[in-house]
Amino acid sequence: MERARPVVVAGAGMAGLTMALELARRDIASIVVERAPRLEEVGAGLQLSPNALRVLARLGRLDDLKARGTVAETVTLRRGDTGRPIASVPVAADDGTPYLSIHRADLQAWLADAVAASPLVDLRLGTGITGVTQHGGGIRTDISAAGGDGSLHAPLLIAADGVNSPISRMLGLGEAVATGALAWRGRIADLSALPPPAGIEAWLGPRRHAVAYPIAGGRETNLVLIEPATDMTDAADLARRFDRWDRRLGAMIAAVGSFTAWPLKGVPPQRSWRHLDDRLILIGDAAHGMLPYAAQGAAMAIEDAAVLADHLDRAPSLPAALRGYEAERRPRIDRVRARVAFHRRVYHLPFPLSLARNAVLARRSPDSLARDLAWLYDWYPPRG
């Protein structure tokens, strides 16, 4: 790939920042354009599985990242009504790579610190992308910033602009689609009466589930309640909708100061990723945003960055790099999507099917449950 001009990366989320750092590791310069004027607290907690952490570990300062989050040993599935454990799945990898829970803002700040230390990344906050066109064998990106409008000319534009991707709309790819599910996200800052969960805990019930885990280095608890979007009324009603659930979960709901409603959207699996004669590629949620039921959206965005940087570094041409990238990533993304669909069915089973599910899971050993996800968590980034 031509290296004389920097690549443009749209969006300074998980995909965009990791992308810039993975390019910099290969001496490829980039300009990261982010429309938000500051990287502030957007989003809530994230689980980061070993497949994603192996990419981040190569950027250095893993101990600092671990200190901003909490290492989880297990994911415990519980009955929604009683809270009794159904199964506990070990999640730490055999090679010692941890499974972390962390606030999205803490991960983003950690990535932004690495970006600030890299002479090969030019991060431009408060700069939105308003247009993209093929131009003179490359791509022209029109930008709008407080200091004035302008354009950037680059060999490649990497669109990492999230599930609502304005660039996808500019390309006529349509909107992200409603999934029919809604997430309520909240945090518990006062843990004096309610100790943080040990690892990741999930409560399963008909049509709904809840997930809790520590964030902010264990000083807070992140709580997510997922329910059908049609039930959305207001947060004040939430406690009533979960009032027949485990009392400990009820206490957590009561302890959350305020919940934020998060309608869950997804990108259709058939969305094409390569555009404008291979001068533009979509990555992260812009390419394949999906329901968070396998906790893999950010992880896939981070994996995308490592794999794309590798292809851009090694392939003989830009089209070859983008083709090679897509051929490698599509099957994995499809497999994760299938797992998400499986979790959606299984988590929300009604009675009495839920009893059968619980009985089947209870008979499985923790090791055999962990083996189900080995293909996902035992992924290694390309060398380089």
Ligand X SMILES: Cc1cc2nc3c(=O)[nH]c(=O)nc-3n(C[C@H](O)[C@H](O)[C@H](O)COP(=O)(O)OP(=O)(O)OC[C@H]3O[C@@H](n4cnc5c(N)ncnc54)[C@H](O)[C@@H]3O)c2cc1C
Binding marks (x or -) toward ligand X, 289..318, rule CB under 6 A?
---x--xxxxx-x-----------------
Piece of 23-31, 89-97, 279-287, 332-340 that binds ligand X (CB under 6 A): 279-287
Which is nearer to ligand X, 320 or 328 (by Cβ)?
Answer: 328
Give one word for 126, left, alpha or beta, with left for phi > 0 and alpha for psi -120 to 50.
left
Closer to ligand X by Cβ: residue 183 or 312: 183
**In terms of CB distance, is 305 or 322 closer to ligand X?**
305
Q: Which of 22, 106, 161, 201 binds ligand X (CB under 6 A)?
A: 161
Q: How far apart are CA 259 and CA 261, in angstroms?
A: 6
**Part in contact with ligand X (CB under 6 A); list of ranges 76-84, 150-158, 239-247, 278-286:** 278-286
- Given a contact cutoff of 8 angstroms between Cβ atoms, the answer to whether 85 and 198 are in contact is no
Measured between alpha carbons, how far is 245 from 247 in angstroms, rounded to an integer? 6
Closer CB to ligand X, 198 or 320, in the complex: 198
Q: Which is nearer to ligand X, 296 or 358 (CB)?
A: 296
Check residue 349 and report its DSSP letter. Answer: P
Minimum Å gap between C-beta 355 and ligand X is 28
DSSP-based helix, strand, coil % in the chain, nearest 5:
40, 30, 35
Give the binding range for ligand X (CB under 6 A) out of 4-12, 53-61, 131-139, 359-367. 4-12
Q: What is the DSSP letter of 157?
A: E
Fill in the DSSP letter of residue 203. E
Question: Burial, 207: exposed, middle or buried (Cβ in 10 Å; 0-12, 13-18, 19+)?
Answer: middle
Q: Among 163, 166, 180, 194, which Cα is nearest to 43's?
A: 163
Residue whose CB is less far from ligand X, 304 or 310: 304
Rule CB under 6 A: choose which of 1, 6, 8, 16 binds ligand X: 16
186 touches ligand X (CB under 6 A): no
Q: According to the binding rule CB under 6 A, does residue 35 interact with ligand X?
A: yes
Q: Cβ 132 to ligand X, closest distance in Å?
A: 10
213 catalytic? Reply is yes
Tokens linked to 147: 């200091």
Q: Does 46 bind ligand X (CB under 6 A)?
A: yes
Q: What angle do CA 113, 51, 98 make, to 5 degrees?
A: 75
Residue pair 355/86 in contact (Cβ under 8 Å)? The answer is no
| 3-state secondary structure (DSSP) of residue 134 | strand
Least separation in angstroms between residue 351's CB and ligand X is 26
Examine residue 91 and tell whether it contacts ligand X (CB under 6 A): no
Cα-Cα end-to-end distance for the chain: 16
Residue 47, classed as helix, strand or coil, is: strand
Report how far residue 129's alpha carbon sits from residue 143's, in angstroms, rounded to the nearest whole number: 5
Interface with ligand X, residue 14, by CB under 6 A: yes
Give the shortest CB-226-to-ligand X separation in angstroms.
7
373 burial via Cβ count (<10 Å: 0-12, 13-18, 19+)? middle
Task: Sketch the per residue contact string, 51 through 90, with ligand X: x for CB under 6 A, - otherwise.
Answer: ----------------------------------------
As annotated, the active-site residues are 213
Q: Which residues bind ligand X (CB under 6 A)?
A: 10-16, 33-36, 43, 46-47, 128-129, 160-162, 166, 183, 185, 224, 262, 264, 284-286, 292, 295-299, 301
